[in-house]
Amino acid sequence: MKRSTIAITAVAAAALAVPLITVSHFSDDKTGNTETVSQETAQEDTLRDAAPEGLAIGSAVAGGGHHLDEDYPDPFTGDDQYRELLGQEFSSLSPENQMKWDHLRPSQDEYDFEDADGIVEFAQANGQDVRGHTLLWHSQNPDWLENGDFSEEELRDILRDHIETVVGRYAGQIQQWDVVNEIYEEDGSLRTEENIWIRELGEEIIADAFRWAHETDPTAELYLNDYGVEGINDKSDAYHELAQDLLAQDVPLHGFSAQTHLSIEYGFPGDLQENLARFEALGLGTALTEVDVRMALPEGSEPSEEQLEQQSDYYVRTLEACLNVGSCESYTLWGFPDRYSWVPVTFEGEGGATIMWNDYTPKPAYHALRDTLLEASEGS
Ligand code: XIL
């Protein structure tokens, strides 16, 4: 067993009670406390170093998608401090947009790997895993694909070629793939209308996508990934059934992951741990792949102390659920700092969802996560 189980309430309380101290890798600190971390503890300075063995701490790599409409330069290539923290704090990277179809496939005959290659190279230089995201999805597909009027056979060939080319290019360098993303509605029915692959090729294409990915890179762990599946509900039930069906057919499915985009405006999914455990019981890996915790934040306003505390509590509870389920080997944040977050552009009147302020100083949630990781490391 890779980690010992930790008591949720004790750790949550401890995490909220920790004093805010300056950590040496942050440029500034809002607390005004100038104490720096001593040499002896410096190695446990960052999230990745605080994590117990066997648990990767990840971040999305900002770029593409909504970033293209913002007035800052490309974060990954143009923000040195961002790059530095990305290397120091995390042991796993997920391309936020750079491996999606609209990014990789300017046309049917072309692949553009420049940005994706940059992430994989960076990960290797920094001893990080990469979670590939994503191969079969209804969203962020190029127009040539969505409006191409292809025959069934052509579409199958297009998907197969894409999977073989992309998974093949990074074979041995991408440790986990979100092969299939967001295929169910909230009520547990398939997103048939929206998803071109399922609509045109039927449900069977899901198994094929896994098979093609596995044939191309037998070493990669292949995942089903979605949001709104943190707790036990109709949607996660649908995945639980699908997972059993796929496994019964010997389809190479290795894991189930919950994106974990939460809001303090809603209750915390208290059965997250139980939900992950039921997928683990099927023999699958589990992961939290896109964790962020947003709050009501009308433009120009600052989070209140109470909102920050609640946010910190939500973050810690997601991490504890993962720590308490042995199969949960990867905990990934959907980016940092707040200025690069997808939340304000996606959820009107909401924001503040990441663990770092815009000047890269840590929020209470950062400290609480790090302390929870340290505590789990001590107990393991
Ligand atoms: C989001 C990105 O963060 C944005 O930059 C982009 O504009 C839209 O997509 N679920 C997913 C992610 O699987 O790929 C989404 O990422 C967030 C929700």
| DSSP 8-state symbol, 348 | T
Residue 300 pLDDT > 70: yes
Q: What is the pLDDT of residue 8?
A: 39
Q: Which has the higher per-residue pLDDT, 3 or 40?
A: 3
Residue 38 pLDDT > 90: no
Kindly state the percentage of the chain with pLDDT values over 90.
Answer: 87
Structural domains of the chain, with CATH: 8-379 (3.20.20.80)
pLDDT level of residue 379 (50, 70, 90 thresholds): confident
Q: What is the pLDDT of residue 44?
A: 59
- Residue to substitute in 334, 336, 340, 354 for testing ligand 1 pocket (most ligand atoms within 8 angstroms of CB): 334
Residue nearest atom 3 of ligand 1, based on CA coordinates: 342
pTM of the entire predicted model: 0.91
The pLDDT tens digits for 318-332 are 999 999 999 999 999
Sort 110 into a burial class: Cβ within 10 Å, 0-12 / 13-18 / 19+: exposed
Tell me the CA–centroid distance for residue 65 and ligand 1, in Å.
Answer: 7
CA distance 244 to 136: 20
The pLDDT tens digits for 149-201 are 999 999 999 999 999 999 999 999 999 999 999 999 999 999 999 999 999 99
Point out the residues that are catalytic. 182, 290
Q: Is 330 in the pocket of ligand 1 (CB under 6 A)?
A: no
CA distance 154 to 126: 40
Q: Is 259 in the pocket of ligand 1 (CB under 6 A)?
A: yes
CB proximity list for 344: less than 8 A, separation 6 or greater = 297, 299, 350, 351
Biggest CA-to-CA distance, the chain: 65
Tell me the CA–centroid distance for residue 288 and ligand 1, in Å.
Answer: 15
Amino acid in position 196: I
